[in-house]
Chain A
Amino acid sequence: MKYAYYPGCSLECNAAAYDNSVHEVADLLGIKLQTLDDWNCCGATEYFSQDELTACAVIARNLALVEPQVNQLVAPCAACYLNLKKTDRLMSDHAELGAKVNECLAAGGLNYKPGRVTVRHMLDVIVDDIGETAVRDKVVRPLTGLKVAPYYGCQVVRPIADGDCTEYPMKMDHLLTWIGAEVVDYPVKAHCCGGHMTQISEPQAFELIRRLLQSAQDYQADMILCMCPMCQLNLDGYQGRVNGFFGSDFKLPIMYFTQMLGIAFGLEPKKLGFGKELVAALPVLKAKLNGQFALS
């Protein structure tokens, strides 16, 4: 099946590991991703704080750019995913707002019919469209004995859950069992990483990050797997600062779920963006999985 692909700004550089591993895994599973030509930033939460119509119009330009013969748009970032999905919903449910958004798009020679494009997250595509059998078929290096904590964050599962639970989502849990990992069942898997709060109030943001790291560690996770570049940045990039702030000693690798999927499929760590994380993951993988297979 062919999907339009909206990488989002983070995946261009900061989360290049996510982009690389998404493409590697998609190729192997036969998912055809066609990058949306000349896409623009979704605005994260920042336009919505200032002007709703501008927020929707900026987002809707991307929906309008999806080619007529494609009706599915895949976004790997939680903020992009929600913004695209939410704008499509707002335009459908509130016709007056939808008309205004189209008036804005018309200034750029574009138009979008609400409901035409279905916005999907990469996790949903792999779990729902590809499914268990096809995923299990590709596993050559089952992650036996590796304890992974699936971390869903907020904006993929709330407020619009795509067939998963807003309180206690399970899709990544299922996927990780298909690739042989030991799934850590911990209570904060859909709690918030703080989003942009690291830039506004560090004490508030660091406490939210600490809660997640602490819980995963208490439940003996070897690593945390993310499905959003903001979550990865907060948990990985800020882990050192959080340790400094609280006097803690967390050393938890924070990887993207697609990176570990790629490892299970036998792909090279480097091609999957391993090494870009600040808290190194390969030593943990080698310690836990050695003897089962070699990792370069």
Chain B
Amino acid sequence: MAAHIAEKKGTFLEEVIEATPGGERLVHCLQCGSCGGSCPSGADMEYTPRTLFAMISGGDREAVLAANTMWACVSCYFCTSRCPQNIPITDIMYTLKRISIAERRYKNTDAPALAKTFTDFVDKYGRSYEAGLATGYHLLKRWKPIQLMKMGPMGVQMFTKGRMAILPTKIRQIDQLQAIIKKAKELSASEKK
């Protein structure tokens, strides 16, 4: 095993392992396929997690980061709880999303735009903001006004039922939260250098 670990220095496998808490379990993948078989989105994936892990071990960084696997993941953790080797598969999907977003490698998915729109509101108000998310994401980031129109009737229903607030809520100590977020982003940026 020591030789095996030594071999991965400077490889994509090492990069993924280093960026994932508990990621060192990845070298124990048996290629059993329990993950893909358990995945509710398996049919929508170009490569199931099992295949993707083989590609990571093989160092096929480009293809892995361009894959739709992590973007089809709905974070249901079936793969993680069923993996006989205790590989934190869902967390590895998050790691791949992060690298893919940082390097803008993703294709054909609006998930990064949704994530950014969502967290921009939290950065600003300290709370999520559904009405702003729906309009900001579908109109500004995604430019799919038709999508917003399709959602229109449901939005109206939610609004008339009192389930959609027009204005955002802001936390009292937003300065404190923003100082924490600023520090986190600085530390993360300095680590990537």
Most chain B CB within a 10 A radius of its CB, from A16, A41, A197, A201: A41
Decide if B114 touches A58 in the complex (CB within 8 Å): no
Known contacts A13-B164, A208-B40, A278-B161: does B187 contact A103 (CB below 8 Å)? yes
- Complex formed: what's the CA distance from A46 to B122 in Å? 10
Decide if B176 touches A41 in the complex (CB within 8 Å): no
Name B19-63 residues within 8 Å CB distance of A: 19, 21-22, 40-41, 44
Q: Which 10 A-B pairs have CB atoms at the shortest separation, nearest pair first?
A: A158-B77, A107-B183, A192-B76, A154-B76, A108-B176, A54-B184, A46-B118, A57-B184, A9-B128, A46-B115
Q: Interface residues, chain A, CB within 8 Å of chain B?
A: 9, 12-16, 38-41, 43-54, 56-58, 61, 90, 93-94, 97, 100, 103-110, 154-155, 158-159, 161, 166-167, 191-192, 194-197, 199-201, 204, 208, 237-238, 240-241, 275-278
Q: Interface residues, chain B, CB within 8 Å of chain A?
A: 19, 21-22, 40-41, 44, 71-72, 74-78, 80-81, 88, 90, 94, 97-98, 101, 109-112, 114-116, 118-119, 122, 126-128, 130, 137, 150, 153-154, 157-158, 161-165, 169, 171-173, 176-177, 179-185, 187-188
Decide if B114 touches A12 in the complex (CB within 8 Å): no
Decide if B111 touches A200 in the complex (CB within 8 Å): yes
Known contacts A43-B122, A61-B177: does B127 contact A12 (CB below 8 Å)? yes
- Complex formed: what's the CA distance from A201 to B108 in Å? 10
- Complex formed: what's the CA distance from A25 to B159 in Å? 26
Q: Chain A interface mostly helix, strand, loop or mixed?
A: loop
- Complex formed: what's the CA distance from A154 to B78 in Å? 8
Decide if B115 touches A50 in the complex (CB within 8 Å): yes
Residues from chain A with a CB closer than 8 A to the CB of B127 are 9, 12, 40-41
Residues from chain B with a CB closer than 8 A to the CB of A199 are 110, 114, 137
Residues from chain A with a CB closer than 8 A to the CB of B183 are 57, 103-104, 106-107
- Complex formed: what's the CA distance from A48 to B92 in Å? 11
**Closest Cβ–Cβ distance, residue B109 to chain A (whole Å):** 7
Known contacts A51-B184, A97-B21: does B119 contact A16 (CB below 8 Å)? no
- Complex formed: what's the CA distance from A38 to B180 in Å? 15
Extra 17 A-B pairs, beta carbons < 8 Å, given A12-B169, A54-B119, A108-B173: A12-B127, A38-B173, A39-B171, A40-B126, A40-B177, A41-B122, A44-B128, A45-B94, A47-B119, A61-B180, A107-B183, A154-B78, A158-B78, A159-B81, A192-B40, A199-B110, A237-B158
Decide if A208 touches B154 in the complex (CB within 8 Å): no
Decide if B184 touches A16 in the complex (CB within 8 Å): no
- Complex formed: what's the CA distance from A54 to B40 in Å? 28
Decide if B128 touches A49 in the complex (CB within 8 Å): no
Decide if B162 touches A208 in the complex (CB within 8 Å): no
Decide if A41 touches B75 in the complex (CB within 8 Å): no
What is the chain B residue whose CB lies nearest that of A239? Answer: B154
What are 30 contact pairs spanning A and B, CB under 8 A?
A12-B169, A13-B165, A14-B130, A14-B164, A38-B173, A41-B122, A41-B126, A46-B114, A47-B115, A49-B115, A50-B112, A52-B94, A53-B187, A54-B185, A54-B188, A108-B177, A154-B74, A155-B77, A158-B80, A159-B81, A166-B77, A195-B75, A200-B110, A200-B111, A204-B41, A208-B41, A241-B154, A276-B162, A277-B161, A278-B154
What is the chain A residue whose CB lies nearest that of B71? Answer: A200
Residues from chain A with a CB closer than 8 A to the CB of B158 are 14, 237, 278
What is the chain A residue whose CB lies nearest that of B154? Answer: A237
Contact of A108 among B77, B128, B180, B187 (CB under 8 A): B180
Contact of A159 among B90, B112, B150, B185 (CB under 8 A): B90
- Complex formed: what's the CA distance from A192 to B172 in Å? 35
Decide if B111 touches A49 in the complex (CB within 8 Å): yes
Residues from chain A with a CB closer than 8 A to the CB of B114 are 46, 196, 199-200
